[in-house]
A = this chain, B = another copy of it.
Amino acid sequence: MKLSLNTATVKRATLAEAARLCAENGVDGIGPWRDVVAAAGGARAARELLDGYGLTVTSLCRGGFVTTGSPESIEDNRRAVDEAAELGTAELVLVVGGLPERSRDLPGARANVARALELLVPYARQRGVRLAIEPLHPMFCADRAVVSTLGQALDLAEPFAPDEVGVVVDTYHVWWDPELFPQVARAAGRISAYQVCDWVVPLPADMLLGRGHVGDGHIAFAPITAAVAAAGYTGYVEVEIFNQEIWDTDPALTVRTMVDRHRVHIAAS
């Protein structure tokens, strides 16, 4: 599997800097975030920039946050679809959103996700974009994503064709799941992205930022990577790490570390 840099890993780099670091380090995929694309002058300008470096856009992060059921949330996701299409990627990552303010209605929030997919799929299909549901670790259920397992994401995807709704396999979010391997097999044809980072303990105060470089924590990457490949996934491995210490590091060093770790823990496995 080829390597892709998710721009969240080098948070303080501009898109141009991230693209240059990819090119210099033999990384030929990049997964940008929408704010980085906007800062680079929008999707069209970003695509020209990335094309100049010969980079493949492996996904766009991120749409989602549809659990309130508001028309605004749907509208924002239509814009995200447009941006993905302009960037030339077929994969729009969706982080579906947590419980609305003060809400305890988890089934209601989950139903809103299903409804949002119904509303968004026809629009996305016309533009050649797949909606990629990303299950987030259950510790984010209240405030970030009411979709917590790969099985649940696949249940939501099932009413749609495999090229309409996919799923993201992110090691950090799913490594603990006793159903992981059967669900990865079930995801055949629907894996939109394979994202990696490691689970380090103890988690820091801000648990969103507790992710480590591949190899620094408790996740066994070889069996997960093998399962993703066995499910027919031929795309890139996208490295997405949220970690303040890594963000404070020179992005050039971070990209070199990422390439090293990929060689040892993913490519060799």
Contacts and interface: CB of A to CB of B under 8 A. Distances in A.
Chain A interface, >50% SS class? loop
A141 B105 contact: no
- Among A138, A219, A220, max chain B CB count under 10 A is at A138
Copies in the complex: 2
A88 interface: no
B139 A201 contact: no
Contacts of A199: 141-142
A103 interface: yes
Contact of A138 (B104, B137, B217): B137
A106 interface: yes
Contacts of A217: 142
Given A137-B139, A139-B203, 7 more contacts: A103-B218, A104-B218, A104-B219, A142-B176, A142-B199, A148-B178, A152-B178
Interface of A: 99, 103-106, 110, 137-139, 141-143, 148-149, 151-152, 155, 175-179, 199, 201-203, 205, 207, 217-220
